[in-house]
Structure 1
């Protein structure tokens, strides 16, 4: 069993012709996550039972359960999760220089039924998958070839990396108080910032308004709670600051594209 992250990364790239398969439990921010790194192969990671965050140099990608992320070779990134039982199925895939442009772009996508069927065969696989492996190799190659077709509807669950130190403090406060209805004016008063200045900081650092930013934080946290399957929809609505279940459901649908109840019934193929 590989326990050291550097050892793991070395094994991923040790055979440049193999597809490396790895099935893992979650990383948490508290245990220093999966440190900033890159690899020579493209990375496909499917997420189940929770959520993960993938940070690149410019963007924090939020990957909910029943979605996958594609990370091109050579892209520096780190991975962490606050979910209790998230599982990830990762395939590290060699990409040739003349292959489709798709493989050069980071993206998050919902998993299709066909992708889930293919992934169900990989549940017990570990390590290098070579051309000589008669059953696994055609399946992982099919996943690679079909990825551009599986990726017709990208989702934009992203939060830009915030570099302003004061705004970092503000957003940390928001993350810790998602159940509260916090006006921009209250936030400005608490952190002793002019309200207009704070508004401009949000626009400059995130390219969205304060209201939309706070709503995204709430909906992303709601996904974490839904994935845990420990709380009712009404309890989750309250935990992220909504006293009205219909309002919470409608907001969740606008941001995520599914109703909370539909999301909670997502497929589980790795457990």
Structure 2
């Protein structure tokens, strides 16, 4: 779920987009607020409730998920990047990447690590997890369907990878 607030708070938490698993109490608060009218007139009770929710968000988000991918600026890596984004569901074939980019495997790995701070394999893992988060939030597929759809060969491999990156099990992100 995505929440937007027009805030005037001087809290570092509110300076960036935040992604975190909402605890049950926050989920229920949001569901409760969803039932209100969408009229533009202000309601004092709604304002008090939303102010309380806003005040508690930094505490709810204490275990933030810093999930970001740095894109390489190096022009020679653009074909590598395109290939990874188009084929993240398949195992990385370094020979294919070398042929596409006309670079040696060693050069590709060195440049990619320098530009992004991660290996090609780690980059692919993050792409898969980001895509799985999108699919989980839609609530249309099971965890096993999502695992196979984003390229994992087993549910256990997906769950372990997801937990390593996110710090939570995939089930924490399923919309109920």
**Corresponding position: 1:176 with 2:89:** no
Could you say which structure has the higher strand fraction? 1
Q: Contact (CA 8 Å) 2:92, 2:121: kept in 1 or not? A: no
Match of 2:33 among 122, 144, 147: 122
**Corresponding position: 1:197 with 2:107:** yes
Q: Contact (CA 8 Å) 1:178, 1:239: kept in 2 or not? A: no
2 CA distance for matches of 1:128 and 1:93? 17
- Which position in structure 2 is the counterpart of 1:107? 18
- The alignment's TM-score, normalised by the length of structure 1, stands at 0.56
Q: Where do residues 56-205 of structure 1 align in structure 2 (5 Å cutoff)?
A: 88-95=2-9, 99-123=10-34, 124-126=36-38, 133-205=43-115
2 CA distance for matches of 1:205 and 1:125? 48
2 CA distance for matches of 1:194 and 1:127? 60
Offset, 1:212: 0.6
Q: Contact (CA 8 Å) 2:22, 2:60: kept in 1 or not? A: yes
Could you say which structure has the higher helix fraction? 2
Q: Provide the secondary structure at the position in 1 that maps to 2:20.
A: strand
Q: Provide the secondary structure at the position in 2 that maps to 1:108.
A: coil
Task: Report how many residues are paired.
Answer: 175
Q: What residue ranges of structure 2 are gaps of 5+ in the alignment? A: none
Q: Contact (CA 8 Å) 2:88, 2:128: kept in 1 or not? A: yes
Offset, 1:143: 2.0
- Change in Cα spacing, 1:147 to 1:246, as seen in structure 2 (3 Å) is closer
1 CA distance for matches of 2:163 and 2:169? 5
- Change in Cα spacing, 1:176 to 1:101, as seen in structure 2 (3 Å) is closer
2 CA distance for matches of 1:266 and 1:173? 31
Offset, 1:125: 4.4
Query: In angstroms, what is the RMSD of aligned CA positions?
Result: 2.6
Q: Contact (CA 8 Å) 2:94, 2:105: kept in 1 or not? A: yes
Map Cα deviations across residues 142-192 of structure 1 (whole Å, 9 max, x no partner).
122222212211111111243333333322221221221113343122221
Offset, 1:216: 0.8
- Which position in structure 2 is the counterpart of 1:54? none
1 CA distance for matches of 2:158 and 2:38? 40
Offset, 1:202: 1.6
Q: Provide the secondary structure at the position in 2 that maps to 1:91.
A: coil
Q: Provide the secondary structure at the position in 2 that maps to 1:162.
A: coil
